[in-house]
Chains A and B, each alone.
Chain A
Amino acid sequence: MTLIDCREAVSRMWDYLSRDLDAVDQDEVEVHLGLCRRCCGELEFSRELRAMVAASESERLPPTARNRIRELTQEPPAPGAS
């Protein structure tokens, strides 16, 4: 394992947050974070920013569209009650 600088740590930060780094790369980030307050701040910031993007981009499929999609895959509806 090698010591990485802030620039390198920052470039891995989002992948670190997604747990998408291999074990060595992840350890290197963690060792760096243990030594560097600045990067701990940026980690927190990146986590927030990422969560904001995820929140702003999430959608719910409207019920009408949901029904239409159900019809695409559905056998003819069962005879209705009443």
Chain B
Amino acid sequence: MTERATDSARRPGERYRSLVEPHLDALYGYCVNLCGSRPDAEDLLQDALVRGLRGQDGLRDPAKARSWLFTIVTNAWRDRHRSRGRELDTISMDASAEEDDFSLYETVAVEDPFPYSDELHLDFLRLFRNGDVRRVFAAIAPVHRLPLILTAVHGFSCKEAAAILDVPLGTVLSRLHRGRRQLERGMWDYAVRNRLVEVGDDAD
């Protein structure tokens, strides 16, 4: 590490700590989602934060600390994947075309699992606990899951998500769309498979 006490007597470690602290929970959540396990997530976060500390001169505008940190975590994760011979962006993108048209809202309306409910759709969602949603979500391919995480969970705009993932905006938009479809289909399949709902055309 370089010894630089330039910043008007503020030590780099101190400056960095105040940049990072407000985002630690969010960054950790992102790491858990990327890694699928908490110990790996802690490891990844630590690795990324060390990189950030070394490269903090690259952050010119402290207001952008949040997306800067998410970018560093993403890159650290991608490097791990690469070193294990797996390339994130070459995971098959061909979710079959039929998947694109699935609508959970329509499916719940048509299958009508709660005939006496006047809040059919919300009742469907109430069947799911956090762990159920997490399991469905974890089954979505990372390329489609990450844009969803960044926008829906962490509140980044599509443009910011594109910058963090280092892909064109159009790519993020189409992956978001697919991710949503996979989430919706996943929710329905999960509910049927785990018998959270009974549907008419059951085989047995």
Contacts and interface: CB of A to CB of B under 8 A. Distances in A.
A53 B182 CA distance: 13
Task: Identify the interface centre among A15, A20, A66: most chain B CB within 10 Å of its CB.
Answer: A20
Contacts of B187: 49
Task: Identify the interface centre among A52, A66, A70: most chain B CB within 10 Å of its CB.
Answer: A52
A18 B11 CA distance: 37
Contacts of B157: 18, 20
A72 interface: yes
B144 to A, nearest CB: 13
Majority SS of interface residues in chain B? helix
Interface residues of A, number: 34
B170 interface: no
Majority SS of interface residues in chain A? helix
Contacts of A61: 24-25, 27-28, 45
A69 to B, nearest CB: 6
A60 B27 CA distance: 9
Interface of B: 11, 13-14, 16-17, 20, 24-29, 32-33, 38, 42, 45-46, 49-50, 53, 103-105, 121-122, 125, 128, 130-131, 133-134, 137, 148-149, 151-153, 155, 157-158, 176-177, 180, 183-184, 187
15 contacts: A10-B105, A15-B158, A18-B151, A18-B152, A18-B158, A41-B121, A42-B105, A45-B121, A50-B152, A56-B130, A59-B32, A61-B28, A73-B53, A75-B11, A75-B13
Interface of A: 10-11, 14-15, 18, 20, 41-42, 44-46, 48-50, 52-62, 65-66, 68-70, 72-75
